[in-house]
Amino acid sequence: MINDPAPAAPSVSDSAPPVTGSAAGRVVAGVLVLAFAAVTGLFAPFLVMASDGCNEGDARTICSVGAQQVVGNLPVIAAFAAALLAVVGMSSRGGAGRGCLLAAPGLLVVAWVASMAIAST
């Protein structure tokens, strides 16, 4: 009884999948990116209102028609592209999914920064 051998430990399989993140984590990150895209698409185009103080012959960048179109359209296009990237990131595994989930907020930040830069000049 005292001299009984200890039971053998269960073997660990080498074919176990690597732990690289859960589906729930991808969904949470994707939903956050979708919310950021929604806020960007809805509110960033209002930066065009920076042109309200423009007078005839004003040399500021926001006072040109082209700049106003860029400031109005860039956030909407970026929000749409980021939403697509978020959906792709939520639905795919591996490096491509993570890349999409990382690229989407970066795209939105670039759209905000560019629009604000144009609106402030």
- Give tens-digit pLDDT for 57-99: 888 888 888 988 999 999 999 999 999 999 999 888 788 888 9
Q: What is the mean pLDDT of residues 35-48?
A: 89
Distance CA 39, CA 75 (A): 10
The proportion of the chain whose per-residue pLDDT surpasses 90, expressed as a percent, equals 37
Neighbours of 113 (CB within 10 A): 10
What would the two tokens of residue 87 be?
């959906």
Q: What is the pLDDT of residue 33?
A: 94
Distance CA 80, CA 38 (A): 9
Encode 7-23: b = buried (16+ Cβ within 10 Å), e = exposed: eeeeeeeeeeeeeeeee
